[in-house]
Amino acid sequence: MNDPILEFNPKLPKLSANEKAVLKLLVEAGKLIVPIYLEQEKQMKDEISEKESQEVAKKDKKILSPYTVVEKIDGKIVATPYHIKYAEALKPIAEKLNQAAGITDNKAFGRFLRLQAKALTEGSYEEAIAAGLQMKPYILDISIGPVEHHDDRLFFAKASYQSWVGVVEKEGTTRLNRYKDTILEVRRKVLIPHQRLENYSNVKAKVDDVILFSGHMARTKFVGVNLPMNLSFVEKYGSEVTLFNQINDLRMKEQILPTFNKTFSSAFKKGFSKEDLRRASLRYVALHELAHSYLYYKNAPKNLQDLLAPIYELSATVLGLRMAGSLLLKEMITDKQLESMIVVFICRCFDLIGKSKGGKSWLNYATGGAIFINFMLESGALKRLGSLTIISFTKIFLSLHDLSSLLEYLLSSGTRKDAEYFIKKYGQFKNLP
Ligand SMILES: [Zn+2]
């Protein structure tokens, strides 16, 4: 496999000499994540069984921390904190961050970088997360270190080393925040089940032009994230949605457009330009990430266990598409834009189903994609005609409502058995193209 690193050269707004110098150091720091992540990939291969670890975890809590390496040494299971295990590789990264902190003319950003450096070498992650979330918006953006992700939200999940470095895109960020505020206002009117964590008002949002993706992010190529994952941190400090323009462009080219071309009739395809689809792709991911903030059901991980991820990820998209309905009603998006989002998501589902052989986390997404397609085929919102797919947008919208009720029921009060039954019924993809 190739190195987990992606570099871009986007057209940037005019940066000051100081910002340019800081940015250069951030990119250098971000690149140094690569060898650590490669080491983690190697360790994932000689896996210790979950059962085995749970046994030992009764005596040693460190084993369950997302920030430890668990290894078998002389037949004994040992957990070593990341910052100790990778101390040597982390030192130069912290140095770069401290150097950047020393020259930046933005005081709050400098403080954040120092805490980030300290988190890497001392394991004080919470302090750095808090500083990042409490900071005023700044044009330069960096995330660096071990991060937990939705896709591997399992009992025995370990955080993966990653970095992204970007420059905040003003126009996209303003638009995203307008969507966020409107959805918030609409959501406040609906009944909220008490199990849900209410951090609605504490969500930040930004769109980045990406310079660098490295480590875990370069493998998964997420177009958007909503971080942190840790619920107690979210309760205390809120969360932040970040979208990545260049990763979206990459996904369009590599996945969405090829699938679009072979899935729909030429008459249908004429109705959608590349640009419609590109914007729609970013938009549905934006709504997916915002929707995550409305789906923090506290008991869901305990109730659904290993089946949480596919249910949780699909719920976010389905709720996101329903929230797009609110944006349509407020005339913030057009019918065409909403339809484009549905088209792109259908392409994404087919693409994920094809990817399901790429490992466990892709299987989670593929299962979600299969549930969506099968559910829509059953309701008549989608039809297959030979190798082509035909969409009824009105029926999709009616079915989205049913699907999201089912998914939210599973998240709020379903059992693992309920989820298993549901996935057995809708999550199969052997019959799908
Ligand atoms: Zn997600």
Q: How confident is the model over 78-124, as pLDDT tens digits?
A: 889 999 999 999 999 999 999 999 999 999 999 999 999 999 999 99
Query: Is residue 384 within 8 Å of residue 377, measured between CB atoms?
Result: yes
Instruction: Quickly list DSSP for 204-226.
Output: EEEEEEEEEEEEHHHHH--SEEE
- The environment of the single-atom ion ligand 1, i.e. residues with CB closer than 5 A, is 150, 313, 316
Residues 6+ apart with CB under 8 A from 7: 211, 212
Question: What pLDDT does 86 receive?
Answer: 97
| Cα 151 to middle of ligand 1, angstroms | 7
Query: Measured between alpha carbons, how far is 95 from 118 in angstroms, rounded to an integer?
Result: 10
Query: Is residue 230 within 8 Å of residue 239, measured between CB atoms?
Result: no
Question: What pLDDT does 126 receive?
Answer: 95
Tokens coding 268: 């249908």
| C-alpha dihedral sign at 103, 108, 113, 117 | positive
Instruction: Quickly list DSSP for 80-123.
Output: EEHHHHTHHHHHHHHHHHHHHHHH-S-HHHHHHHHHHHHHHHH-
Question: In this structure, are strands 140-147 and 224-227 parallel, antiparallel, or unpaired?
Answer: unpaired
- Number of other residues whose CB lies within 10 A of the CB of residue 309: 24
Range in 29-38, 211-220, 302-311, 376-385 the model is least confident about: 302-311
| Cα 18 to middle of ligand 1, angstroms | 35
Mean pLDDT of 177-183: 92
Alpha helices in 162-256 (DSSP H): 170-189, 216-220, 231-237, 245-251
Residue-wise pLDDT for 52-83, tens only, equals 767 777 777 778 788 998 888 888 888 899 99
Within the chain, what is the greatest distance between any pair of CA atoms?
65
Confirm whether pTM is higher than 0.85: yes
| End-to-end C-alpha distance for the chain, whole angstroms | 27
| Cα 58 to middle of ligand 1, angstroms | 31
| Cα 309 to middle of ligand 1, angstroms | 9
Query: Is residue 136 within 8 Å of residue 178, measured between CB atoms?
Result: no
Question: What pLDDT does 194 receive?
Answer: 57
Question: In this structure, are strands 382-385 and 388-391 parallel, antiparallel, or unpaired?
Answer: antiparallel
Residue-wise pLDDT for 184-195, tens only, equals 777 766 655 555
| Cα 156 to middle of ligand 1, angstroms | 19
| Cα 287 to middle of ligand 1, angstroms | 10
Tokens coding 3: 């190195």
213, β-bridge pairs: 6, 164
| Cα 320 to middle of ligand 1, angstroms | 11
What are residue 105's phi and psi, to 5 degrees? -95, 10
| Cα 365 to middle of ligand 1, angstroms | 9
Three-state DSSP string of 317-375: HHHHHHHHHHHHHCCCCCHHHHHHHHHHHHHHHHHHHHHCCCCHHHHHHHHHHHHHHHH
Query: Measured between alpha carbons, how far is 248 from 402 in angstroms, rounded to an integer?
Result: 29
| Cα 367 to middle of ligand 1, angstroms | 14
Range in 58-72, 240-254, 286-300, 344-358 the model is least confident about: 58-72
Could you tell me the pLDDT band of residue 155, with boundaries at 50, 70 and 90?
very low
| Cα 313 to middle of ligand 1, angstroms | 5
| Cα 7 to middle of ligand 1, angstroms | 23
| Cα 305 to middle of ligand 1, angstroms | 17
Instruction: Determine whether 267 is exposed, middle or buried from the number of CB atoms within 10 Å of its CB (0-12, 13-18, 19+).
Output: exposed
Could you tell me the pLDDT band of residue 163, with boundaries at 50, 70 and 90?
very high
| Cα 284 to middle of ligand 1, angstroms | 11
| Cα 155 to middle of ligand 1, angstroms | 17
Question: In this structure, are strands 5-7 and 68-73 parallel, antiparallel, or unpaired?
Answer: unpaired
Question: What pLDDT does 49 receive?
Answer: 67
Percent of the chain surpassing pLDDT 90? 71
| Cα 282 to middle of ligand 1, angstroms | 13
Query: Is residue 195 within 8 Å of residue 298, measured between CB atoms?
Result: yes
Could you tell me the pLDDT band of residue 47, with boundaries at 50, 70 and 90?
low
Q: Helix count (H) and strand count (E) of the chain?
A: 20, 10
Q: Which residues of 44-65 are buried (b: 16+ CB within 10 A; e: fewer)?
A: eeeeeeeeebeebbeeeeebbb
| Cα 315 to middle of ligand 1, angstroms | 9
| Cα 312 to middle of ligand 1, angstroms | 8
| Cα 154 to middle of ligand 1, angstroms | 14
Amino acid symbol at 192: I
Specify the residue for token string 């596919």. 310
| Cα 288 to middle of ligand 1, angstroms | 6
Question: What pLDDT does 87 receive?
Answer: 98
Residues 6+ apart with CB under 8 A from 290: 179, 180, 183, 203, 205, 226, 241, 320, 323
| Cα 150 to middle of ligand 1, angstroms | 6
| Cα 286 to middle of ligand 1, angstroms | 10
Mean pLDDT of 289-295: 88
| Cα 95 to middle of ligand 1, angstroms | 33
Closest CA to 128 of 107, 142, 149: 142
| Cα 91 to middle of ligand 1, angstroms | 32
| Cα 14 to middle of ligand 1, angstroms | 32
